[in-house]
Amino acid sequence: MFKKILIAFILVFLLVQIPFAYRRYKLRKLSATIRQLNSQRTHTPTNLNEHKGVVHVHSFLGGHSSGTFSDIIAAAQANQLNFVIMTEHTEKDFDTAAMTLQGLHGGVLFINGNETSAANGDRLLTLPNDIAIVAYPEDFKNWETPGVDGVEIYNVFTNTRRANPLVALFDVLWSHRAYPDLLFALYYERPNESLKKWDQALARARLTATPGNDSHANVGISLRDSSGKTLAGIQLDPYETSFRLVRLHVLTDSKALDTEQLLAALKAGHSFIGFDLFGDTTGFRFEAESGPERKIQGDEIPLQNDTRLRIHTPIPSRVVLFKDGSVILNEAGITTKEIPVTERGVYRVEVYVPEVEQIIGEKPWIISNPIYVR
Ligand SMILES: [Zn+2]
């Protein structure tokens, strides 16, 4: 009798593992697909300079994290990032923004900011030059808050928090060693709710979309003894992995990047969000032309007879164009596309890679900032 129960138990255990083995197989396929896609990259005709970096990073300064400055600098270098925007939690008795990384360190430009909470629970990322970005927009209440420049429409931490811990545990056991970064692809979801809130807010004001890596380097599975010493553990979100998932790509006129240029580009929305985990998004462009005027994402342009939008993607992709939050174009196989504009409105683009969608479902690779046709 006992033996039968044991055999039944083992059988059930093995059956339960099948989906996780399949999920690991999917990651292998995804990895090969991304490698293959990267070999199809096209040249971007542009006179702008592109700088990639991450937004919403915590160190040991504001609690929750034990990450050191050296860890963060090394991770940024390993990811070949041009900038990192620090957003430390506040402390009652000292100024964490003043104390965190700022300026150039190891060739990476750091901006020193805070993550703050209002009395009603609304959270903002506050940066120098009075830049404020709505964090966790799905919970944000007071959209009339004055002086808001942007919305964090995607947050890695919010996304992964929705994962079922038991499913995640088996995924980690099956796939973490081979695919520590790509593992995230199994959990990545389009931030529908935040995008909706942003689209609604765009009807009233210009708002830059930013991604939030929300890197703490504090998520993991570990076995500790009674004194708190780690006996065995897997850290799931070291900065180096977190910085690989999603990035802000900023466009400027100048080749070198300094604090003022970066903050100005951020405020102006001269940037896009790239889920670089699925392949480097460098080279994506969303521009508008009207007579002699040439504008890029984040800008306003007047509506004229010849006004048109132009989209360029780094590899052949499916492009979805939104006007005031509604889809007006959805077309696959695009590298360059010109679209005449006949109506005023807020236009923005999402880019999808069909080969990746076949494996992990409909999840955007790129989310642009808007062009405002006035
Ligand atoms: Zn945070």
Max mean pLDDT range (29-38, 69-78, 144-153): 69-78
Q: Is pLDDT above 80 for 46? A: no
Q: In the prediction, which pLDDT does 100 show?
A: 97
Instruction: Say how many Å lie between the CA of residue 100 and the centre of ligand 1.
Output: 14
Q: How far is the CA of 86 from the centre of ligand 1 (A)?
A: 10
Q: Which of 178-192, 242-256, 333-347, 354-368 has the lowest mean pLDDT?
A: 178-192
Write out the two tokens for 252.
């400027």
All structural domains of the chain with their residue ranges: 38-373
Show the beta-strand stretches assigned E in the chain: 49-57, 83-89, 103-105, 108-117, 123-127, 131-135, 150-155, 208-212, 220-224, 230-235, 247-252, 271-274, 285-290, 293-296, 300-301, 308-323, 326-340, 345-352, 366-368, 371-373
> 212 pairs with which residues across the strands?
155
Q: Measured in angstroms, how far is the CA atom of residue 47 from the centroid of ligand 1?
A: 35
Region of poorest pLDDT, from 80-84, 222-226, 291-295, 353-357: 222-226
C-alpha 115 – ligand 1 centre gap (Å): 6
Mean pLDDT in residue range 162-184: 85
Calculate how far, in angstroms, residue 28's C-alpha sits from the geometric centre of ligand 1.
31
Q: How far apart are CA 225 and CA 232, in angstroms?
A: 10
Q: Return d(Cα 288, Cα 272) in angstroms, integer.
A: 15
Token digits for 249?
A: 């790509």
Q: Where does the pLDDT of residue 353 fall: very low under 50, low under 70, confident under 90, or very high at 90 and above? A: very high
More confident residue, 247 or 178: 247
Output the pLDDT for position 233: 60
**Would you give the DSSP letter of residue 202?**
H
* Angle, in degrees to the nearest 10, between helices 2-38 and 165-175: 70
Token couple for 273: 């969000």
pLDDT tens per residue across span 72-115: 999 999 999 999 999 999 999 999 999 999 999 999 999 999 99
Q: Does the pLDDT at position 146 exceed 90?
A: no
Q: Find the 279 Cα to ligand 1 centroid distance in Å.
A: 25
What's the 133 CA to ligand 1 centre distance in angstroms? 12
| Residues, beta carbon < 5 Å, ion ligand 1 | 115, 214
Q: pLDDT band for position 306 (50/70/90)? A: very high
Measured in angstroms, how far is the CA atom of residue 124 from the centroid of ligand 1?
10
Distance (angstroms) between ligand 1 centre and the Cα of 158 equals 10
Distance from residue 137's CA to the centre of ligand 1 (Å): 13
Length of the chain counted residue by residue: 374
Q: How far is the CA of 165 from the centre of ligand 1 (A)?
A: 21
Cα–Cα distance, 175 to 153 (Å, whole number): 28
Query: What is the 97 CA–ligand 1 centroid distance (Å)?
Result: 13
CA of 225 from ligand 1 middle (Å) equals 29
Residue 279 has pLDDT above 90, yes or no: yes
Q: Is the pLDDT of residue 345 over 90?
A: yes
**AA letter at 273:** I
Q: What pLDDT digit, counting tens, does each position of 213-252 carry?
A: 988 766 655 555 555 455 456 667 789 999 999 999 999 9
69 φ, ψ (degrees, to nearest 5): -60, -40
| pLDDT, the chain, mean | 91
Residue from 194, 211, 204 nearest 250 by CA: 211
Q: Calculate how far, in angstroms, residue 135's C-alpha sits from the geometric centre of ligand 1.
A: 8
DSSP conformational letter for 278: G
- Residue 58 Cα, ligand 1 centroid: separation in angstroms? 7
Could you say which DSSP state residue 343 is in? S
Give burial (CB, 10 Å; 0-12/13-18/19+) of 353.
buried
Q: What predicted TM-score, i.e. pTM, was given to this entire model? A: 0.93
